A and B are shown apart, each in its own frame.
Chain A
Amino acid sequence: MISIEVTETAFDPWQAIQQFQQQPTFNAKQSGANAVFVGTMRDFNEGELVQAMRLEHYPAMTSKHLQQLVDKASETWVLDHVLLKHRVGELVPSEPIVLVAVWSAHRRASFEACRQIMEDLKHQAPFWKQETLNDGSTRWVEKNTAG
């Protein structure tokens, strides 16, 4: 089962995982491993305090691209389920930005697929962050951190 969602609404990643697992097509018995990555908004970047962030995206390309990177991971590893959720719109520090959860029979596939999906998303998916600093000024984030 694959679920990919881009949402303007704040979400609780643990609740999202629980809801995903409660769906009738989720088979909990086959997966011996579940790797989860949650990315949240920091209150600092590039030596400045950040009070808010706006995440913009290219909706038509985002949905295609997220599907492609999950498909690519599914071709590389045998995965049982993938849940991918990404936030857009206005955020404040500590709010989750992204959730990647992968289920597989064994841990290696889950760990590695979760990492690859996250890295591909960071480097390729068409999202852009604009930060509001504590003095009220705004700036576009020019590049992601190395990891």
Chain B
Amino acid sequence: MSIKTLFFASLREQVGQSQTQGYWQTGLTPIQLWQQVTQTEFPEHILVARNQAYCDADTVLSDGDEVAFFPPVTGG
């Protein structure tokens, strides 16, 4: 299934890319997606959004999802 992956702020710098599109096995979760894209362990305290809404890191993803990884927010 096709998944678009986005990285923001310090995570973008850490990973070295802002976005990537890839084909992955069904049943994939954001934790597994992180591990496969970055080849690193899933960091503690980061946030995950699926299709622009917060989700748990162990949510099962669907074909066409947009998944974003980012650090704690600091707006306002």
Contacts and interface: CB of A to CB of B under 8 A. Distances in A.
A49 interface: no
Contacts of A121: 75-76
Given A58-B49, A64-B52, A128 B76 contact: no
Main secondary structure of the interface of A (DSSP, over half): mixed
A122 interface: yes
B9 A56 contact: yes
Contacts, number: 72
B68 A58 contact: yes
Interface size class of B (residues with CB under 8 A): 10 to 19
Contacts of B70: 58, 126, 128
A85 B72 CA distance: 21
B42 interface: no
A60 interface: yes
B15 interface: no
A118 B53 CA distance: 19
A39 B74 contact: no
Contact of A123 (B10, B49, B73): B73
Q: How large is the interface on A (under 10, 10 to 19, 20 to 34, 35 or more residues)?
A: 20 to 34
Contacts of A57: 75
A18 interface: no
A94 interface: no
Contacts of B54: 124
Contact of B75 (A60, A64, A98): A98
Interface of A: 39, 55-58, 60-61, 64-65, 86, 97-98, 118, 121-130, 140-144
12 contacts: A55-B75, A56-B8, A57-B75, A58-B6, A58-B52, A61-B49, A64-B52, A97-B75, A126-B73, A128-B75, A143-B74, A144-B74
